[in-house]
Amino acid sequence: MKKTLSLVVSLTVIAGACAAVLAYVNSITAGPIKATAEENERKAVMAVMPSGAVSFDASGDVFVGKDASGAVVGYAAKGVDAGGYGGDIELMVGFGADKRTVVCYRTLKAAETPGLGMKLNTPEFSGQFAGRDGSALKVRKDGGDIEAITSATITSRAVCRAIANAQSRL
């Protein structure tokens, strides 16, 4: 009994010390992690804006791209779909000034199968979306014009839905 009590106390002290160290490390790294995420988002917004955009204004999840004279040249918005093969797919999608025409997208978050679903980042796949209406995207198997990634139709469908989700935020 005495030995069991000693083990319980020892394990409790060790667990408490580990929890304290983890809490301390979290408090130190939370700020830099948030700053890095914000910087990555800013870079993604500028990467998906139509050419001519030199700055953007943010209004929630929607970013309005402006040229040097202040005229609106396009928009960017986050699009999310939970139906990816590996979970959520989160994209930053650029649209023309008409709020319908897709310029391009950048992946913010995806845990798809390496070598298959992660081909969503290749120019061969992502280039198919440029110039299309973001609300009318479907893979060929579903009657649309988008050629799905071979062996990754689930991912391809999720990308189409994430782009439509982004457009619905504009």
For residue 70, what pLDDT band results from cuts at 50, 70 and 90? Answer: very high
User: What percent of the chain shows pLDDT beyond 70?
Assistant: 100
Query: Can you read off the two tokens belonging to residue 156?
Result: 């391809």
115 vs 53: CA distance, rounded Å? 33
- Summarised one tens digit per residue, pLDDT across range 125-135 is 999 999 999 99
Confidence of residue 6 (pLDDT cuts 50, 70, 90): confident
pLDDT of amino acid 1: 80
Model pLDDT for residues 29-65, shown as the tens digit of each residue: 989 989 888 898 899 999 999 989 999 999 888 999 9
Instruction: Tell me what the mean pLDDT of segment 59-73 comes to.
Output: 93
Summarize pLDDT for 89-115 with one digit per residue, the tens. Answer: 999 999 999 999 999 999 999 999 898
Confidence of residue 5 (pLDDT cuts 50, 70, 90): confident
DSSP helix/strand/coil, 136: helix
* Residues 46 and 58 sit within 8 Å (Cβ to Cβ): no
Query: CB 32: neighbour CB atoms within 10 A?
Result: 9
How much of the chain, in percent, has pLDDT values that exceed 90?
74
